[in-house]
Amino acid sequence: MAKQINPTRMELTRLKRRLKTASRGHKLLKDKQNGMTKKFMEQIRLNRKLRETVESELAAAARQFRSASSAMGEKELAEALLLPAGEIGVTGGAGNIMSVQVPVLHADGSLAGSLPYGFADTSYELDAATLSMVKLFPTLLQLAECEKTCDMLAAEIEKTRRRVNALEHVMIPEMERNIKFITMKLEDNERQNITRLMKIKDVINAR
């Protein structure tokens, strides 16, 4: 690779400039990678916490629905839940984590306290289960946002890691080898010129 380089001082200066830029870029990318990894670990911990909460609440709601089904009967339970408790919209925005655009989700409105049925033929367990699911919606939204953020950060970390490795193990070592080759070639040329000048001087002095 080095032998294909034109061994001139201009090329040496250009390579040294490129090496300086590449080294600075490598440091910036490495810092970015470390920063994103830290943020990623924070999101992973948040994701684990949210998932544990969601799974716990869903399990409790499932137990309440089973109790309601036992108390009311499956047919009556299905009829009570035919109508939705209401409608709620979700709007999406974008946040920024270490220059990575991540999703930010917001619920438009609230279903708090909404029940889609009357109280005459339903049980307390059904009320509790339905209200717990309504209450869980913001946490589900936050979990979805967090999981997507984790995916996007992981992809960006991998992309940055490949760039860092390419600079660290390919581009920078290659430029260093080329600089060393040109430097040695120029020094060799300089020695040859000095030797040639000394011979010329000796010839002139011998006359």
Residue ranges of the domains in the chain? 2-199
Cβ atoms 176, 20 nearer than 8 A: no
pLDDT of residue 84: 64
pLDDT of residue 198: 81
- Intervals of the chain under pLDDT 50: 1-2
Per residue in 75-87, pLDDT (tens digit) is 777 776 766 666 7
Class of CATH domain 2-199: mainly alpha
Calpha distance 15→194 (Å, rounded) = 26
Provide long-range contacts, Cβ within 8 A and 24+ apart, for 7-12: 7/181, 7/182, 7/185, 7/186, 7/189, 8/182, 9/186, 11/182, 12/179, 12/182, 12/183, 12/186
